[in-house]
Amino acid sequence: MSESKKTIEVVAAIICKDDAILATQRGYGELKDGWEFPGGKIEPGESHTIALTREIQEELQVSISVGEFLTTVEYDYDKFYLVMHCYFCTLLENETITLVEHEAAKWLTKETLDSVDWLPADIAVVGALKEHLS
């Protein structure tokens, strides 16, 4: 009898500042060292906006404004099935990012979006982002 995979539903922030977008490098777990858009799991009863605001505060210690919805990506990883809702966000005020769970962060332009090793689900987000930016 095969075990059914757990579905994990998350939100991700595409944080924009000037002409750049924030990419973060995972510092833990099975997907360590892969690059991703920051965010995390939606708690029961939370809206996407509330979850995203909370997760970014926890992971980067900054406040964001959640804006336009970009895309929902579904990806079948080895150990779980991911459903990721992605929103454009902006930093409130001129806040400094503090990496709590990530090893590194980079501001990427449209031209440098492919310069990091994105996690598989995030590659689809990069594709949607390029379409949106063109």
pLDDT tens track for 65-110? 999 999 999 999 999 999 999 999 999 987 789 999 999 999 999 9
Which residues pair with residue 82 across a beta bridge? 8, 75
Cβ(35)–Cβ(24) under 8 Å? yes
Average pLDDT over residues 13-35: 94
Give the position of tokens 């595409």.
14
Q: Give residue 51's pLDDT.
A: 98
**Dist CA 127 CA 115 (whole Å):** 14
Model pLDDT for residues 32-61, shown as the tens digit of each residue: 999 999 999 999 999 999 999 999 999 999
| 59 domain residue, yes or no | yes
Give the position of tokens 């059914």.
4
Q: Give residue 3's pLDDT.
A: 62
Instruction: Give me the numbers of helices (H) and strands (E) for the chain, helices first please.
Output: 2, 7
| Amino acid letter, 46 | E
| 78 domain residue, yes or no | yes
Cβ(110)–Cβ(18) under 8 Å? no
Residue 97 structural domain: 6-133
| 14 domain residue, yes or no | yes
Q: Give residue 2's pLDDT.
A: 45
Tell me the whole-structure pTM to 2 decimals: 0.93
Q: How many domains does the chain contain in total? A: 1
Average pLDDT over residues 111-128: 96
| 36 domain residue, yes or no | yes
Q: Give residue 120's pLDDT.
A: 96
CA atoms within 13 A on the CB side of 26: 16
**Dist CA 134 CA 116 (whole Å):** 20
| 54 domain residue, yes or no | yes
pLDDT at 1 over 60: no
CATH of the domain at 55: 3.90.79.10
| 1 domain residue, yes or no | no
